[in-house]
Structure 1
Amino acid sequence: MARQCDLTGKARQANHKVSHANNKTRVFKQPNLKTKKVFDPESGQTIRLKLATSTIKTLDKLGLSKFLRKYYK
């Protein structure tokens, strides 16, 4: 399974680690993912999702239905 947020699609980013001598080594920044159970009031089911912590904060603020309406038009 990919290290990717199930709702937003946030995935790893490629960056460079730069030394004092300006040597560049490629590194990957991983998203902060957590497994969370989310209750869907429309279907009445609990869904297990792999979400970024920033997405979890937005879900807690808006709720699942408002989040989906706002970001998936």
Structure 2
Amino acid sequence: MSRICELTGKGRLTGHNVSHANNRTKRVFLPNLQNVTLLSEKLDRAFKFRVSTHGLRSVEHNGGLDNWLRKTKDEKLSANARKVKRELLKADKAA
């Protein structure tokens, strides 16, 4: 399972461990991913996502899942999140 946030697209980064003697060895920085259930107010449903803690704070700061999906470009979202976004936009047009 890839370590990529479904809502922000945040993934792994590479860098170096640097010793006191300035020896450098490769290392990987992984995002802090959590399995969460987010509620959509417009669709009145719950959706499960694998989201980084930074992404979770960002979603709450922007007014919830519905607003986040409307504002975010499709390229950043996972296939699951794009599907939810399509449902949300379809519900907006119907209303």
Provide TM-score, normalisation by structure 2. Answer: 0.68
Amino acid at match of 1:24: R
Identity %: 34
2:86 maps to which residue? none
Write the distance in 1 (CA, Å) between the matches of 2:70 and 2:48. 20
Greater strand content: 1
Q: 2:6 aligns to what SS in structure 1?
A: coil
Deviation of 1:42 (Å)? 3.3
1:72 maps to which residue? 73
Deviation of 1:23 (Å)? 1.1
Query: Which stretches in structure 1 are left out of the alignment for 5+ residues?
Result: none
CA deviation profile, 1:23-66 (whole Å, cap 9, x unmatched):
11001011011111011233332111000111111112221121
1:34 maps to which residue? 34
Write the distance in 1 (CA, Å) between the matches of 2:14 and 2:48. 28
2:64 maps to which residue? 63
1:49 maps to which residue? 49
Aligned length: 73
Worse-matched range after superposition: 56-65 or 10-19: 56-65
- Aligned pair 1:17/2:17, yes or no? yes
Write the distance in 2 (CA, Å) between the matches of 1:72 and 1:29. 25
Amino acid at match of 1:48: K
Provide TM-score, normalisation by structure 1. Answer: 0.85
